[in-house]
Structure 1
Amino acid sequence: MQPQGAVEREFAYSKADFDAVRKQLHLLTGIRLADSKDSMVYSRLVRRIRALRLSGFAAYLTYLDKHPEETEQFINALTTNLTSFFREPHHFEVLSTYLKKHPGQINIWCAASSTGEEPYSIAMVVAETFGRFDAPVQIIATDIDSQVLQKAQAGIYRADRLQGLDERRCKQFFFRGKGSQTGFVKVVPELQKMVQFRQLNLLDAKWHIRGPFDLIFCRNVMIYFDKPTQLKLLERMVRLLTPSGLYIAGHSENFAQATHLVKAIGQTTYRPAGGVLG
C-alpha cells in the first residue's frame, strides 16, 4: 500500500517504508517528518537507491544499517535547505543595531547555514556597519548537511539568487561570471574570509564550537524537532549566549512557553531570561 496521494512509482513504497525512514532520521538527527512528507522522502531517496543499484526501499534501509558511511548521504538527502539572501530582513536590522551598540569584539553563530545565503547576509551587514571587511567580528556557520556546506564555502550562486538585493550590495559583494560562468555570481573573497563553515549536528552530545556568542541565528530549524528536543536545544544555546546576547528565531517559531530560558524583545528576537537588555 502506497502513502495517500501517491502515483505509480518506479520502486514499491509502502507506509511501513516511509515510517521506517522517518524513524531512522529522527534517531540520527532528532528531526520529525510530518505525514505530508511521504512524497518528498520517495523523491529524495530514490536517487540513492538508483545510485547504489538496490532493489527498493527495504533493501536501502538494510544497506543503511550495514554501511554507516551511507548515513551522511541519507541525512543530506532528507534535510530541507530553503534559504535566500536577507530572508526575514527585520533580523538584519536587529543585527545592525546590535553591532552599533556593541563596537567591541562580537561573536556570531549561524546554526543552520544551508548553502550560505544567511551567513553571507550577516557578513554583509557586518562589513557595512564597520565600513570594512576586517571587522572585529567572528562568524561561525554550521549545518548538518556536508553537501550544502561545500556549496556555501564555494560561494557560487545562480545570478537570480540576487533578486531583491539592491544594486549596491550586488556590486560590492559579488563578482558576476563571464563566458562559461555567465548567469552565475561569486561572493568576493573578502566576504568569504569573514565566515567559518563547519559541519555540526545539533543533536551531537558535544558541539565543537566555543562560545560565548553575542548573537545566535537559529532560524526555521526548531520546527523540525519535537517540543522536548526544542527546549533542550534552546537551553544549550542560551547557555552559550552572553548576558546581553540575542537569540534570533524563525518566523514560524515561538518560545512563549520557554520564558524560563528566553524573553521576547521583538519580532522572533529573544534575550536570555537571566540576561540584560543590550
Structure 2
Amino acid sequence: MLFSPQVEPLTDEEFGRVCRFIHKKSGIVLTMNKKNMVYNRLLKRLRDCKVNNFAEYLRLLEREPLHPEWQAFVNALTTNLTAFFREPHHFVTLSEFVRARKNSNINIWCAASSTGEEPYSIAMTLSDVLGAQAMNAKIIASDIDTEVLDKAKTGIYRIEELKNLTAIQRQRYFMKGVGDFEGYARVKQSLRDMIEFRFLNLTDGDWQLQHRFDAIFCRNVMIYFDKDMQIKLLERFAPLLKPDGLLFIGHSENLSQLSQHFVIKGQTVYSLQPTRKG
C-alpha cells in the first residue's frame, strides 16, 4: 500500500500569502484562527495539482495569474453554510411584502446563492403567494463558487435537507428520486425556471445587472469582508434596489455603522432611506 507523503504545515508567511490572494480575488478576510481550516481545505488542491508543499502551490498561482487553479483555490476557501428557509422570519416578511405589492413581475437578487437552498426558498415563497403568476417573477442567484453553482443548478438534495419545508411544499415543489437517487429529491422544473444561476464576484467592477430589484438577499456574506468592502457593497446595492424594495442581511450583520442609505424595517431587513427614494 502506498501512502501520500505528509504535507508540511502552512508557515505564517505562506498563510499570509493565502490571505492576500483570497482577499484580492474575493474580498474575503481570513484571520489567524482560520489557519488550520485553510490547511485542510487546500490539501486536496495540492494533491490535484501534484505538488507536495504549499510553497510550490503558491508559486504556481503567482506564476500563472490566469491559471484555472485560481477558481479552484477560491472555491476551496469559500464558506457555504446554508439551508432551506434559513432565518425563517425573512420569508414571512417576503410573503407579506409580495402579497402587498399585487404584482407578479417581481425581481429578486440572491447575491450569494451557495448550493441553491436560499434561491429555491425564495422561489417557493413567491409561488406560495402568487400561484401560477409566479412564473412572471425572476430570481437572479449568483455566487463566486462555481462548484456550488453547479449543485444549485441540478437542484438535487438529500431528503433530510428538506426538513424545514412543509409537507405541502415537499409535494408541490420536489420529485422523489428512485433507484440510484433513492433518498434524494429534485426541485421541479417549474421552480427551477424562475431562477437564473450565474457566476458573480462581488468585488468585480461590473456586476452586469440591468435592472432594479424588488428585494436583494445578501445574507451572512458581509461578515467575511472588511469594513471598506462592506461599505462599498452597500453603496452599490442602493441604486439597484427599487425605492420601496427590501434588503435582507444575515442575523449577525448590522448596517447602522456602515451606511446612511438604509433604514431598518424589521429583524435584519432594511429599505432605502426615504430621502434616497426615486
TM-score (norm 2): 0.93
Which residue of the partner structure matches residue 76 of structure 1?
75
CA distance in 2, matches of 1:133, 1:223: 35
**Cα deviation, residue 35, structure 1:** 1.8
**Cα deviation, residue 56, structure 1:** 0.6
Which residue of the partner structure matches residue 197 of structure 2?
197
CA distance in 2, matches of 1:72, 1:120: 25
Equivalences for 1:92-241 in 2 at 5 Å? Answer: 92-104=91-103, 105-132=105-132, 134-241=134-241
CA distance in 2, matches of 1:133, 1:146: 31
Segments of structure 2 that go 5 or more residues without pairing to the other structure are: 1-5
**Cα deviation, residue 274, structure 1:** 3.4
Equivalences for 1:47-66 in 2 at 5 Å? Answer: 47-66=44-63
Letter of the 2:94 partner, please give it.
L
Tell whether the 8 Å contact from 1:244 to 1:275 is kept in structure 2 after alignment: no
* 1:51-103 deviations in Å (ceiling 9; x for gaps): 11102101000111123221111100100000000000000011101111112
Segments of structure 1 that go 5 or more residues without pairing to the other structure are: 1-8
**How much identity, in percent, do the aligned residues show?**
46
Letter of the 1:94 partner, please give it.
T
* 1:145-204 deviations in Å (ceiling 9; x for gaps): 111000000001111111232211111111111111111110011111010001000000
Equivalences for 1:10-89 in 2 at 5 Å? Answer: 10-67=7-64, 68=66, 69-89=68-88
**Cα deviation, residue 211, structure 1:** 2.2
TM-score (norm 1): 0.93
CA distance in 1, matches of 2:129, 2:174: 18
Tell whether the 8 Å contact from 1:259 to 1:273 is kept in structure 2 after alignment: no
**Cα deviation, residue 276, structure 1:** 8.3
- 3-state SS of 1:135 partner: helix
CA distance in 2, matches of 1:152, 1:199: 12
**Change over 3 Å in CA distance of 1:134–1:95 after alignment to 2:** closer
CA-atom RMSD in angstroms: 1.6
